[in-house]
Structure 1
Amino acid sequence: MIDNRSIPTATVIPVLVYPDVRAAVGWLSEAFGFLERVRIGDDHRAQMRVGDDGGVIVADTHGEQQPPEAGCVTHLLKVRVADVDAAFERARAHGARVIQEPTEYEYGERECTLEDLAGHRWQLTQTMRDVAPEEWGGVTVEP
């Protein structure tokens, strides 16, 4: 693949729609520690850097692009973090709505779920230990 400085380097790049792009960029920066990398227009779009190799695009509402509706969950974004408890407290301090407190699971992850200012759901996850999928009922599928 050719590198392009005009797009995040991640393989999968979610595009999330917000009613106010600048407010979303500010909130995601403060609550989750994301960094803005490219601004497109005053309030049209922004590209955010997430960790070392992740990216998300924040887009404005227009046409069919609408932010989430209350009571209707259509997606959840999972973000790996070094310390899920600290990330949870930071997001909660910035007004994230708590859906699920940090919980450790048999598959080796400690996770929490939060909702941002526009209703997007974020699951923060921290790897606690390496666990084979077969240990908790999963199946490893070889390519």
Structure 2
Amino acid sequence: MATHELFAYLCVADAARAIDFYRHAFGATEKFRLVEPGGRIGHAEVDFDGTILMLCEEFPELGIRKPDPAHGHGTTLHLHVDDADATIQRAVAAGATLERAASDAFYGERSGVVIDPFGHRWNIGHSIEEVTPEEMQRRYVALFPEG
């Protein structure tokens, strides 16, 4: 078996608004959308400089629902950019909620976290140094008090 691509596929309450948010916050462009006669967007694709994000509106009749941030987040999208601080600032200005401001992290990135207006969690970061997996593990363990 060969895997050719892996796409994130998000469910949102208002896909048209989500597409507009991703355009303003992250500079994404809409590729296309499929709209039911009643106006519900059944599928849309948004291009993040060559990486595709798929999204749809809720289909409760099929068990497809938007996230409920009141119950935490089971998924985080990691967006690797040139300038995390500026991208986070732009996302917040476009309507995202800041969960964690950008800071330098043990794994060699400067990153922060926002929750988009549709309940999805985004970790936004840029590289600040190359860190081997072994060094990353050493730094990770050092974060925890001796037990």
When normalised by structure 2's length, the TM-score is: 0.81
Report the structure, 1 or 2, having the larger helix content: 2
The alpha carbon displacement at 1:71 in A equals 2.1
Structure 2: distance between partners of 1:103 and 1:75: 21
What amino acid is aligned across from residue 121 of structure 2 in structure 1? Answer: R
Question: Any idea what the Cα deviations from partners look like across 1:5-39, whole Å, max 9, x if unmatched?
Answer: xxxxx821011001111111111111121111122
Match runs of 1:51-130 below 5 Å: 51=49, 53-62=50-59, 63-72=62-71, 73-130=73-130
- 27-36 vs 42-51, which moves further: 42-51
* 3-state SS in 2 of match to 1:114: strand
Structure 1: distance between partners of 2:9 and 2:26: 17
Does 2:34 correspond to 1:40? yes
The alpha carbon displacement at 1:44 in A equals 2.1
Q: Which residue of 1 aligns with 2:144?
A: none
Structure 1: distance between partners of 2:27 and 2:107: 26
What amino acid is aligned across from residue 23 of structure 2 in structure 1? Answer: S
User: Would you identify which runs of 4 or more consecutive aligned residues in structure 1 move more than 3 Å?
Assistant: none
- 76-85 vs 128-137, which moves further: 128-137
- 63-72 vs 111-120, which moves further: 63-72
Q: Which residue of 1 aligns with 2:16?
A: 22
Q: Which residue of 1 aligns with 2:135?
A: 135
* 3-state SS in 1 of match to 2:7: coil
Q: Percent identity?
A: 26
The alpha carbon displacement at 1:125 in A equals 1.4
Q: Gapped runs of 5+ residues in structure 1?
A: 1-9, 139-143
Aligned residue pair count? 128
Q: Which residue of 1 aligns with 2:142?
A: none
The alpha carbon displacement at 1:70 in A equals 2.6
What amino acid is aligned across from residue 56 of structure 1 in structure 2? Answer: L
Structure 1: distance between partners of 2:31 and 2:113: 25
Q: Gapped runs of 5+ residues in structure 2?
A: 139-147
Structure showing greater Rg: 2
